[in-house]
Amino acid sequence: TAFKTLLGTTSFRTIYGKACHLPVELEHNAYRAIKNCNLDLMKVGANRFLYINELDEMRLDAYESSISCKERTKRWHDKRIKAPTNYEKGDKDMKNGVIELYDEDGNEYIANKQRVKPYQKILDTNRDDDITLDNEEEVT
């Protein structure tokens, strides 16, 4: 009965002059009233206590599983760390993917390895490599 006509009312109200109440709503209200009348407070208290204990157990299980997941992740990460094992006197310990770069003048600077892109030499385009269609004998 959510559909409304141009008059702003439902078709049921236009015909019968009153709002339509479905039997489902009446049954639901009656069920709720009967449920409240037959309420056993001791049983409700026991059910609530069991529900709170179940929630507490679920929280503890989630906490324990998160700890074990963190431990497994740490073991997996530590197993894949590749560190040099042969240090010599005077070696620099560059952590977190840091590398040393040199510019054209020989000046040294430090950069993050993940941000560095490979250098591509610019091709010399001044040479005369153009081929015209008039010189077909030269092209093989």
Residues 6+ positions from 3 with CB-CB distance below 8 Å: 10, 11
The pLDDT tens digits of the residues spanning 42-73 come to 887 888 899 999 889 988 888 888 888 899 99
Instruction: Write down the pTM of the prediction.
Output: 0.34
**Can you read off the two tokens belonging to residue 129?**
């490599």
Q: What are phi and psi of 98, to 5 degrees?
A: -85, 135
- pLDDT per residue rounded down to tens, the chain (140 residues): 455 556 566 777 767 666 666 655 556 666 676 666 667 778 878 888 999 998 899 888 888 888 888 999 999 988 887 665 565 666 666 677 787 888 888 888 888 877 777 666 666 666 666 666 665 565 55
